[in-house]
């Protein structure tokens, strides 16, 4: 039957009423409500799903809860979601000082790559390694807050001047492997940080949902214990071989006891995240491989002096509504054009920041911090050294400690496959000059990858997947998973040589195939042997180490000048040997001072001169005493002569 024309507008209007909410018009309006009190605001709140609809646990189609849609009821999440933890893939954000990368390890090709979306020299952009946002999410969601690459909206094109200069500028592409339509986006999960009582289970439930089952959009709900989810979106669209039926989508069962009569949930939201929440992603442990299975030594570590004394990470690493967490390095105020950040550095807090717009912050002793006297230290130390040089990281020894971090080694997750030699191998402290020219302790790792040497001398990365494809079926490289023990076994020269031939034979490839490993670049000779040589592309990637801060009594210099100026002081003469999936015998050790462009003669002469320091003081004081005695005698004689002359004059009168 043909519809009369005059009925069409009515039908359209009716359809609009029914369909528009489903199309997103039902999204909760973003607000910026404030209680403006230092007291904790009790979050007994209703939950919204990703459509912005209020969740009723009694309804079959309810949820999962969306942190963004829930929190936007009161908070400006569009502003918050541009914060430091979520904006790495926004190229318009200044990269700031180099930081800890995501370390990608492909066991088959032994590729170890420091990755970052930020423009940090020495890192690779994930796209260079052939990794899409989907790949990054599956691999690193375990220690990611969500948002950013976990919820990829193509970022607005940045102004030309802010485009990365050391990394390619490719925009996110479409990954055919991506299954966002089933998994949903991994939204920013506010409770990862703001959970006051650890009711948010990041270490097990979120990991299992977000990574193992690819149930990204269900992860925040399950992590909070609000519901139980069965099924995996990774299987959606596949057929269960046992039953012959297609796998069902994830099914959620709400814990209705968590909801009150008005369908609200009490969430223990805190403004200042407990340090233990930060530590899930920001733990660094020294390990001792010599202790075998008990390589983990952190039980004996003292921890950061600030935290031990009752402070929170967020006392210094603050932010406003924008969630741009202060990183606390000296040039941060300049990098981001925010002069107020100067007061949140080590020196700004302890000594005061003379450039602070707040007069109170020009004074030291912020938060009761002790104002250091640094007795006996010539001022040149403070021109040459960052505060962290003496106060941060493990006490330097003849070789740097081996370190494991949350982001690189998935600390915090129950992984029995984690060993002392688990890739990546990170060492520290290595004393290098930072971007501000001051010596500071760094963590260091050595990239391992296949590349192509270009005519201009640069090396372009060959994505691990391309190498795997090139050697497929040739029985050269054994297919391995990163958790397998063999993954740390170095490649033989023969394997390297054969692989270089195959990588070079890839159609349309430009440049000579090379292998970067252990701080060296390997090229294939005409006779099939491989030859290592030095190359800038093989340099280690290092990033500054801010914590754990040691107290004054356990800082370098607390025992005197010889902590750093002895003839074998670790700050200069500790031996740094590259570690990773390569033959340690081929790795070339470097003494710490060699990283700082300082000559051996100068260092050894300077440190050797400290043996004469006492003699210098004795000579100085003895000579000063003689000169003072002569001056004193002269003064006495002058007074005596003047007095005598006065007496003589008086008598003659």
Give the footprint of other proteins on this chain (CB under 8 A).
Answer: 372-380, 382-384, 602, 605-606, 609, 613, 616-617, 619-624, 626-628, 630-631, 633-634, 637-638, 641
If the CB atoms of residues 218 and 595 are measured against other proteins, the closer one turns out to be: 595
Q: Tell me how far apart the alpha carbons of residues 30 and 75 are, in angstroms, rounded to a whole number.
A: 7
* Smallest distance, other proteins to C-beta of residue 393, A: 23
474's enclosing H/E stretch is none
* Smallest distance, other proteins to C-beta of residue 336, A: 28
Q: Tell me how far apart the alpha carbons of residues 105 and 108 are, in angstroms, rounded to a whole number.
A: 9
* Smallest distance, other proteins to C-beta of residue 609, A: 6
Contact 318/331 with Cβ under 8 angstroms?
Answer: no
Q: Tell me how far apart the alpha carbons of residues 414 and 432 are, in angstroms, rounded to a whole number.
A: 34
If the CB atoms of residues 74 and 363 are measured against other proteins, the closer one turns out to be: 363
If the CB atoms of residues 472 and 616 are measured against other proteins, the closer one turns out to be: 616
If the CB atoms of residues 351 and 445 are measured against other proteins, the closer one turns out to be: 351
* Smallest distance, other proteins to C-beta of residue 508, A: 52
Residue of 390, 409, 420 whose CA lies nearest to 545: 390
If the CB atoms of residues 354 and 584 are measured against other proteins, the closer one turns out to be: 354
Secondary structure (3-state) at 67: helix
If the CB atoms of residues 22 and 639 are measured against other proteins, the closer one turns out to be: 639
* Smallest distance, other proteins to C-beta of residue 627, A: 5
If the CB atoms of residues 42 and 628 are measured against other proteins, the closer one turns out to be: 628
Contact 524/501 with Cβ under 8 angstroms?
Answer: yes
Distances (CA, A) of 383 to 363, 377, 387: 20, 12, 10
Count of CB atoms situated within 10 Å of the CB of 187: 26
* Smallest distance, other proteins to C-beta of residue 376, A: 4
Exposed, middle or buried, 131 (CB in 10 Å: 0-12/13-18/19+)? Answer: buried
* Number of alpha carbons in the 13 Å side-chain half-sphere of residue 351: 13
If the CB atoms of residues 22 and 619 are measured against other proteins, the closer one turns out to be: 619
Residue of 369, 393, 416, 423 whose CA lies nearest to 301: 393
* Smallest distance, other proteins to C-beta of residue 565, A: 12
* Smallest distance, other proteins to C-beta of residue 372, A: 8
Question: Is there a cis peptide before residue 429, judged by omega within 30 degrees of 0?
Answer: yes
If the CB atoms of residues 359 and 378 are measured against other proteins, the closer one turns out to be: 378
Distances (CA, A) of 371 to 44, 228, 477, 497: 43, 52, 58, 59
* Smallest distance, other proteins to C-beta of residue 349, A: 16
Contact 501/493 with Cβ under 8 angstroms?
Answer: no
């Amino acid at each position: 039957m043909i519809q009369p024309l005059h009925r069409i507008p009515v039908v359209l209007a009716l359809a609009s009423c029914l369909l528009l909410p489903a199309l997103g018009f039902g999204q909760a309006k973003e607000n910026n409500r404030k209680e403006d009190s230092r007291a904790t605001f009790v979050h007994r709140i209703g939950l919204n799903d990703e459509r912005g609809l209020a969740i009723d646990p009694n309804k079959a189609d309810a949820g999962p809860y969306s942190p963004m849609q829930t929190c936007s009821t009161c908070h400006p999440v569009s502003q918050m979601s541009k914060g430091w933890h979520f904006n790495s893939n926004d190229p318009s954000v200044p990269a700031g000082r180099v930081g800890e990368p995501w370390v990608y390890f492909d066991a088959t090709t032994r590729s170890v790559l420091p990755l970052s979306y930020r423009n940090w020299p020495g890192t690779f952009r994930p796209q260079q390694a052939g990794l899409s946002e989907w790949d990054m999410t599956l691999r690193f969601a375990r220690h990611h807050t969500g948002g950013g690459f976990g919820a990829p909206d193509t970022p607005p094109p940045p102004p030309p001047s802010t485009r990365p200069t050391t990394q390619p500028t490719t925009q996110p592409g479409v990954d055919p492997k991506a299954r966002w339509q089933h998994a949903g986006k991994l939204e920013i999960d506010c409770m990862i940080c703001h959970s006051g009582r650890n009711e948010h289970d990041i270490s097990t439930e979120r990991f299992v949902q977000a990574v193992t089952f690819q149930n990204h959009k269900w992860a925040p709900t399950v992590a909070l214990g609000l519901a139980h989810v069965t099924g995996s979106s990774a299987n959606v669209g596949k057929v269960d071989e046992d039953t012959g039926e297609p796998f069902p989508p994830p099914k959620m069962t709400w814990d209705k006891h968590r909801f009150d009569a008005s369908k609200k949930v009490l969430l223990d939201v805190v403004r200042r995240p407990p340090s233990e929440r930060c530590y899930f992603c920001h733990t660094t442990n020294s390990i001792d491989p010599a202790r075998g299975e008990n390589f983990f030594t952190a039980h004996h570590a003292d921890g950061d002096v600030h935290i031990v004394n009752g402070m929170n990470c967020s006392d210094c690493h603050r932010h406003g509504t924008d969630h741009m967490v202060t990183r606390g390095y000296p040039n941060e105020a300049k990098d981001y054009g925010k002069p107020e950040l100067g007061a949140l550095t080590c020196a700004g807090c302890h000594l005061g920041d003379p450039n602070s717009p707040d007069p109170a912050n020009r004074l030291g002793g912020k938060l009761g911090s002790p104002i250091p006297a640094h007795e006996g230290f010539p001022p040149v130390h403070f021109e040459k050294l960052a505060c962290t040089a003496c106060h941060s990281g493990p006490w330097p020894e003849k070789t740097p400690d081996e370190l494991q971090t949350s982001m690189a080694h998935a600390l915090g997750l129950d992984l029995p496959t984690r060993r002392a030699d688990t890739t990546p191998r990170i060492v520290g402290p290595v004393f290098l000059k930072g971007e501000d020219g001051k010596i500071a302790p760094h963590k260091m790792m050595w990239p391992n990858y296949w590349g192509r040497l270009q005519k201009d001398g640069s090396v372009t990365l060959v994505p691990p997947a391309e190498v795997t494809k090139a050697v497929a079926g040739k029985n050269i490289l054994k297919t391995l998973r990163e958790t397998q023990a063999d993954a740390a076994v170095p490649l033989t020269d023969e394997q390297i040589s054969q692989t270089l031939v195959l990588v070079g034979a890839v159609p349309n490839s430009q440049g000579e195939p090379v292998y970067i490993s252990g701080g060296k670049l390997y090229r294939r000779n005409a006779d099939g042997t491989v030859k290592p040589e030095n190359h800038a592309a093989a340099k280690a990637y290092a990033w500054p180490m801010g914590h754990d801060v040691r107290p004054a009594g356990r800082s370098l210099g607390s025992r005197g000048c010889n902590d750093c100026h002895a003839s074998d002081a670790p700050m200069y003469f500790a031996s740094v040997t590259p570690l990773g999936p390569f033959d340690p015998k081929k790795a070339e050790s470097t003494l710490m001072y060699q990283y700082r462009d300082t000559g051996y003669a100068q260092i050894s002469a300077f440190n050797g001169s400290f043996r004469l320091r006492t003699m210098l003081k004795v000579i100085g004081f003895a000579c000063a005493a003689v000169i003072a005695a002569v001056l004193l005698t002269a003064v006495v004689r002058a007074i005596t002569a003047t007095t005598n002359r006065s007496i003589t004059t008086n008598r003659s009168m």
